Structure 1
C-alpha cells in the first residue's frame, strides 16, 4: 500500500492486513462500530419516520451525535448518515430525501449547498492493488450554492466548488469548477452557470 494511502487511512480505519478485512474482519474499531450501531437505532426510532417539517428535531439528534450543523439546515428523515461526527453542514444547506451520506471520511456542505434526493456522497474506497483490500477515505466538500441533483454520485476526495451543478445521475470523481454545470458519467462540462450570491 502506498504511503499516501497510509496517511489517508491513519484516522479511524484499521490496518486491513492485521484485522483481516478481506477475510470478513473489521475495517473499523469495535468502539467505532458500537457508536454507529447506537446511532443507527436512534435515527431509525426517533428520526427516520418523522415528517419533513421536523428539521429542528433531526438537527438536534445529529448534533447530539457529534455532527456540526448550521442554522436552518434541512435534513430529511429518509437520509442515511453513516457516521455523524464526520458530517459538517453550513447554514441553509440541504440533505434531501434518501441521500446516502456515506461519511467514512469527512463530508462538508458549506452554506446554501444543496444535495438532492437519492444522491450518494461516498468518502471511502479500497486500495485495489493491496491484497488486504485496505479501506481508505478522502473528504468531500460541497461549496456554497453548489447543487448536486437527483441520484448523482460524488466520489472520495471530490470538491464541488462554489455554484457548481452536478446534473441528475451524473458521476463526479474529480473536482468540479466553480459556477459550471456538469452532466454525465464521467461528469463533463456543458455550460457556465450565472453567478449570484445571497
Structure 2
C-alpha cells in the first residue's frame, strides 16, 4: 500500500488502513490456513499450493510454503518454480513478495513488505515490495525489510538484516547485512 492508497482507504483521516474486502479476506484466510494447512506434513505441498492459489497467490509448479509458515495476505505472494518458504517463516505481505526460481527462504525468516511513514502524524502504512532472485538463499531467522531486492544467487546469512539492493551472487551477513564475499556462480 502506498501513501496514496492509505489516504484513499481512510487512514489519513484516522480510518482503517486496509479496505473492508482486504480485511475480510484475511479474516477468512487465517483460520483456513491454520486448520487446512498448518498441520500438514512436507509431502502435502500440492494441497498448500492449492489453498494459497484459492486466495490469490501465484504459485508455480514445485513451489512450496511449509504449513507452519504464516502468509499475511496470499494475493501479494508470487513464487516461481521450485521456490521454498520454510517452516516458521513470517510472510508479512502488505506489499508484493516475489520469490524466484529455486530460491530458498529458510526457517524463522521474517519477510516484511510494509512499514510506516514516521514523518506523518498518523504513521501511515506504506507497502514496499520484496523481490528474492532465482537461486538466492535467505538463511535462518533473517529479516528482509520493505523494498529489498535480493539478487540472483545471493545469500543472506543466518540472522542477517537485509535492506536495499543486494547484489547477485554475493554473500551477506550481519546487521545491517554487509558483503562477506562473492559466491561462485553456477548454471541455472
Q: TM-score range by the shorter chain?
A: over 0.9
Q: Secondary structure at the match of 1:178?
A: coil
Q: Secondary structure at the match of 1:54?
A: helix
Matched, 1:105 2:95: yes
Following TM superposition, where does structure 1 have runs of at least 4 consecutive aligned residues deviating by more than 3 angstroms?
Answer: 9-13
Choose the corresponding residue for 1:14, options 3, 9, 20: 9
Cα distance in 1 for partners of 2:104, 2:118 equals 32
Q: Secondary structure at the match of 2:181?
A: strand
Q: Secondary structure at the match of 1:125?
A: strand
Task: For residues 73-116 of structure 1, give each alpha carbon's deviation from its aligned partner in whole angstroms, at most 9, with x where no partner exists.
Answer: 12100000000010000000000001000000000001111100
Which residue in 2 is equivalent to 1:181? 171
Task: For residues 108-146 of structure 1, give each alpha carbon's deviation from its aligned partner in whole angstroms, at most 9, with x where no partner exists.
Answer: 001111100000000100011100110001100000000
TM-score normalised by length of structure 2: 0.95
Matched, 1:43 2:38: no
Cα distance in 2 for partners of 1:156, 1:148 equals 15
Cα distance in 1 for partners of 2:46, 2:88 equals 18
* Unpaired stretches in structure 1, ≥5 consecutive residues: 1-6
User: What is the count of residue pairs matched by the alignment?
Assistant: 187
Task: For residues 153-195 of structure 1, give each alpha carbon's deviation from its aligned partner in whole angstroms, at most 9, with x where no partner exists.
Answer: 0001110000000000000112110000000000000110000
Q: Secondary structure at the match of 2:98?
A: strand
Matched, 1:82 2:77: no
Cα distance in 1 for partners of 2:132, 2:151 equals 7
Question: CA-atom RMSD, angstroms?
Answer: 1.4
Which residue in 2 is equivalent to 1:171? 161
* Unpaired stretches in structure 2, ≥5 consecutive residues: none
TM-score normalised by length of structure 1: 0.91
C-alpha deviation, 1:15, in angstroms = 4.1
